[in-house]
Amino acid sequence: MALTKAQAAPLSNDLLLAGVIETIVNESQLLHFLPFMEVTGTAVRYARETTTGTTTWYDVGDTWTESTATFSEQTATLKILGGDADVDNFIAATYADTNDIEAEIIREKAKSVAYSFSTAFFTGNAVTNPKQFDGVNRLVTGARAMSMGTNGAALTLDKLDEMIDMVKPGKPELLLMSKRTRRQLKALRRGSGNILEVNVRDFGLQVETYDGIPIIVDDFLPENETLGTGTNLSSIYAFKFGQGAGLMGLEHGGIQAERVGELETKDATRTRLKWYCGLALFNELGAARLQGITA
């Protein structure tokens, strides 16, 4: 069964690793929702349904015609994300509590990992930077991306509802937007006499909802997109999660905290944080994007 990072953190017996995962999850709200699939090897190949095939009505004695679903093969590659956290031995020796200074330095590096993942989640581009995985800006395109207008326009509830209805079957499990867009959505709701509801999710996480769909605000969702002649635009994403339903994270071995030890070139001790991770959209119907939202 696929787990989110928030669900996986309590399962670790390594206190250092558990602390790293907890920090990363706290710094990236989407990791409370995004499930991860363990990948054996460096990539995963999967078949994405393009057409379902047809059925029709027959009379007695009619000749039946065959029509099967068609699929396109997709490949999602794992990438290496990480960094080294060095604790100066002099500072560690003279600090009141060695464990505190080491934990603080490793915590800061874990934040950096979370920020890098969140940035790539939205704007990753394996063409311009082959070391990254493709983000949702490249996965949710074509018919899955609708716009507010040729050059962008102000958000409307009608357009938001239309984008939500693009996700099938049922409702999306999550809406991702920037703080600026959430302010616009709140203003629209107040203008219609309604406010955003608040629900309590796993681990006591309080989230606002729209039409029962959790809203996650992420600081790494850009507000400087362009569309036509429009600039400083933003997007809203809607997702279902899971291997058969929509979007899913990929990883091998999970987030790792590796003790490298004493360094030869400087008086310090190193801990390496690394994550072999990626992103895959298994079902295009499980994702939609509304782009071109003006300020």
Q: What is the pLDDT of residue 204?
A: 57
C-alpha closest to that of 46 among 255, 247, 239, 237: 247
* Cα distances (Å, whole numbers) of residue 236 to 126, 143, 148: 22, 15, 11
Q: What is the pLDDT of residue 226?
A: 94
Domain assignments of the chain as residue spans, ordered by start? 3-40+74-293
* Cα distances (Å, whole numbers) of residue 6 to 28, 109, 117, 249, 254: 10, 18, 15, 13, 12
d(CA 21, CA 254): 9
d(CA 163, CA 143): 11
Q: What is the pLDDT of residue 225?
A: 94
User: What is 3-40+74-293's CATH topology?
Assistant: phage-related protein like fold (3.90.1690)
What's the one-letter identity of residue 120?
A
Under-50 pLDDT residues of the chain:
none
Q: What is the pLDDT of residue 243?
A: 86
Three-class SS of residue 114?
helix
